[in-house]
């Protein structure tokens, strides 16, 4: 498992006070690329999954959150959306460190899924017999809002990582998406 580089992420994320949200500014975006998802276990991708219930908390004014929910539904998830006026309070309650945050927070099988995490990465994480930080693992995240991630199909593509994390900021890359 590769260590998470907080410094490269910090250089690309900019907090914005307007509407209490996060903006993600990506540098060096490529176009017309195909994601490399070879880091996922092929058995996980071929195993039919049982329908999982997901509660997604998001700002009612965010369009990409609905697109991410549609991505999960296309992969067999049952998504309930809670348009919360204060998603940042929920993120604090769930113990999500600032460096792991994105625009929406989902709860799946007792874990946090923060941001635009691909369905196959969620399944790989949930299928792990041992989570990266044991019982201290809160969940997984795609920090920020990278182009090309589910719900962020903008015609541009940025490489990104799916990161497992703890409340005290420990993080480890569990999946890489490369275009």
Q: How far is CA 144 from CA 24, 35, 52, 74, 149, in A?
A: 5, 18, 25, 23, 10
> Which residues are CB-neighbours of 150 under 8 A, at least 6 positions away?
67, 68, 71, 72, 116, 117, 118, 119
CA dist., res. 82 & res. 160, Å (int): 26
Res 146: pLDDT: 98
Res 133: pLDDT: 98
Res 3: pLDDT: 60
Closest residue by Cα to residue 142 from 168, 128, 122, 126: 122
CA dist., res. 156 & res. 147, Å (int): 6
Res 51: pLDDT: 74
The domain limits of the chain are 2-10+33-177
Res 20: pLDDT: 35
The SS3 assignment for 92 reads helix
Q: In the chain, what is the straight-line distance between the N-terminal and C-terminal CA atoms, in Å?
A: 20
What pTM was estimated for this model as a whole? Answer: 0.76
pLDDT in tens, the chain (179 residues): 656 544 334 333 332 222 233 333 232 333 333 444 444 444 444 444 567 999 999 988 888 999 999 999 999 999 999 997 789 999 999 999 999 999 999 999 999 999 999 999 999 999 999 999 999 999 999 999 999 999 999 999 999 999 999 999 999 999 999 99
Res 84: pLDDT: 77
């Amino acid at each position: 498992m590769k260590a998470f580089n907080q410094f490269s992420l910090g250089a690309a994320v900019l907090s914005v006070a307007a509407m209490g949200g996060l903006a993600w500014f990506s540098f060096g975006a490529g176009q017309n690329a195909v994601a490399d998802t070879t880091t996922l276990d092929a058995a996980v991708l071929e195993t039919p999954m049982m329908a999982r219930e997901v509660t997604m908390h998001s700002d009612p004014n965010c369009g990409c959150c609905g697109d991410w929910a549609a991505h999960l539904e296309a992969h067999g998830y049952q998504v309930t959306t809670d348009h919360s006026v204060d998603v940042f309070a929920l993120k604090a309650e769930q113990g999500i460190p600032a460096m792991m945050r994105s625009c929406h927070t989902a709860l799946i099988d007792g874990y946090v899924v923060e941001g635009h995490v691909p369905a196959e990465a969620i399944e790989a994480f949930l299928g792990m017999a041992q989570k990266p930080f044991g019982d201290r693992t809160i969940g997984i995240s795609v920090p920020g809002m990278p182009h090309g991630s589910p719900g962020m199909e903008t015609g541009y593509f940025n490489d990104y990582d799916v990161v497992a994390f703890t409340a005290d900021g420990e993080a480890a890359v569990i999946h890489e998406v490369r275009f």
